[in-house]
Structure 1
Amino acid sequence: MKPIIFCDFDGTVTDSDNIISIMKHFGPKGWEKWKDQVLNQEISISEGVGNMFALLESEKKEEIIRYVKETAKIRPGFTEMVQYAKAETIPFFIVSGGMDFFIEPLLQEIISPKFVYCNKAHFDQNDIRIEWPYTCDDLCTNHCGCCKPSIMRSLSEKDHFKIVIGDSVTDFEAAKKADLVIARDRLLEECIKQGITHCEFTDFFDVIEIVKQNLEVKA
């Protein structure tokens, strides 16, 4: 058994989706159209998220960071989850469609940036511009932006037991590649709908117990 964990950030590590929270708070005109089209899988994640952030002025960077740091809450048990994975020498990666400028400040005391895969925001033009450093490999054609299945393929080996933790339809492609899916919210609904075997979680204390139980069974 060689477990490896790939964990979403927005709505999974945090108790809400920070991109949606930012858009609701700052309210740029037209953002909801892009959000709905992404969630309904009518357009790619990269197109929708890129267009949403393009509606915000770069001069709001510090205000946005301050807002996220004041409002985002880390889900209970996450620090313990990271500590558990480290103690058990289980590779633990954050794989997120979120942005570096708000993910890294929230995680800086919990997990090293070298274990975080996310998109990058640039503020050198009038509007916020998104860079996609982890685009799809040759086996994915979904224009994911931050392609979670591609990252999983690059980091895992054939004998790895791949664990995916997530909450949204944006985690579904990764879930289809996993040996164990730990889900909540929209990902949970999608797993039920598509008949993908999964476990449900509320907080990361649940996740720790699910991982322990599954690794004992598989051992």
Structure 2
Amino acid sequence: MTQKQRIIFCDFDGTITVNDNIVAIMKHFQPEGWETLVKQVLSKEITIRDGVGRMFALLPTSRKDEVIDYAIRNVKLRDGFRELLDYCRKEQVTFLVTSGGIDFFVYPVLEPFDIDKDRIYCNGSDFSGASIRIVWPHACDEHCHNDCGMCKTTIIRRYPREQYERILIGDSVTDFEGAKLADLVFARAQLIELCEELGLNYKPFESFHEVIQGLEETR
């Protein structure tokens, strides 16, 4: 029997990075009404796409340079990320970044790691109007009705279970639906609770060194 090709779908905010960059931006710039929107997204009162779009619409484009500079400078990468990428290249594991984050900080932060742009999925941004507008190049397909913004399940479904061992690495609400489709989940924070609740096959992690160890143990 032919061995399945391993493929990793890795979240960015709170996973590749230690902090959640969207929340960090909002906390720093404090636009009126942002806290309510975050709570509504986390409680699923509103969709991720609606919430993130409305949060950034609170920020004027006149502050574009400040927002971008803060977002990039504020990032702290999780320990072991480069080693995980090296491991994936050595073991021929396909590594995709599937991020609900925004292009203006995701691309610059990942640039030193030589990840092909076509393997980075994230939301876009438009600074041409009075306020920041988020654009959604990877919206939900006909199988997903959660209005995700950057739909992780749509990306995952492009890699059939019969051919791929689908591995998800994540931490939060944007990873919940994708985790249900994965063969193996590396989880932290809120995602651990979901995996426990649904009985999903998961391993907890805090650094990517633990992910590498888990990948070796499950070869």
Contact 1:100 1:120 in 2 (8 A): yes
> 1:112 corresponds to which residue?
116
> 1:7 corresponds to which residue?
10
**Does the residue aligned with 2:52 lie in a helix, a strand or coil?**
helix
Q: Does residue 211 in structure 1 map to residue 211 in structure 2?
A: no
Deviation at 1:59, TM superposition (A): 1.9
> 2:64 corresponds to which residue?
61
Q: Which of 44, 60, 64 in structure 2 is aligned with 1:41?
A: 44
Q: Which of 21, 28, 33 in structure 2 is aligned with 1:18?
A: 21
Deviation at 1:89, TM superposition (A): 1.2
Where do 5+ consecutive residues of structure 1 fail to align? none
Question: For the residues of structure 2 that align with 1:28 and 1:37, how far apart are their CA atoms?
Answer: 16
Q: Does residue 177 in structure 1 map to residue 181 in structure 2?
A: yes
- Residue by residue over 1:74-112, the C-alpha shift from the partner in whole angstroms, topping out at 9 and shown as x without a partner, is 101001111111111111000011000000110101123
Contact 1:4 1:91 in 2 (8 A): yes
Question: For the residues of structure 2 that align with 1:197 and 1:91, how far apart are their CA atoms?
Answer: 20
Question: For the residues of structure 2 that align with 1:91 and 1:97, how far apart are their CA atoms?
Answer: 19
**Does the residue aligned with 2:77 lie in a helix, a strand or coil?**
coil
Aligned residues: 215
> 1:137 corresponds to which residue?
141
Question: For the residues of structure 2 that align with 1:155 and 1:3, how far apart are their CA atoms?
Answer: 10
Question: For the residues of structure 2 that align with 1:87 and 1:184, how far apart are their CA atoms?
Answer: 25
> 1:28 corresponds to which residue?
31
Question: For the residues of structure 1 that align with 2:40 and 2:143, how far apart are their CA atoms?
Answer: 24
- Residue by residue over 1:94-145, the C-alpha shift from the partner in whole angstroms, topping out at 9 and shown as x without a partner, is 0011000000110101123221000001100010001101111111111111
Contact 1:134 1:146 in 2 (8 A): yes
Q: Which of 129, 150, 153 in structure 1 is aligned with 2:154?
A: 150
Q: Which of 81, 91, 94 in structure 1 is aligned with 2:84?
A: 81
User: What TM-score do you get using the length of structure 2 for normalisation?
Assistant: 0.95
Deviation at 1:197, TM superposition (A): 2.4
Question: For the residues of structure 1 that align with 2:160 and 2:60, how far apart are their CA atoms?
Answer: 38
Contact 1:169 1:190 in 2 (8 A): no
Q: Does residue 160 in structure 1 map to residue 164 in structure 2?
A: yes
Percent identity over paired residues = 47
Contact 1:15 1:75 in 2 (8 A): yes
Q: Does residue 124 in structure 1 map to residue 132 in structure 2?
A: no
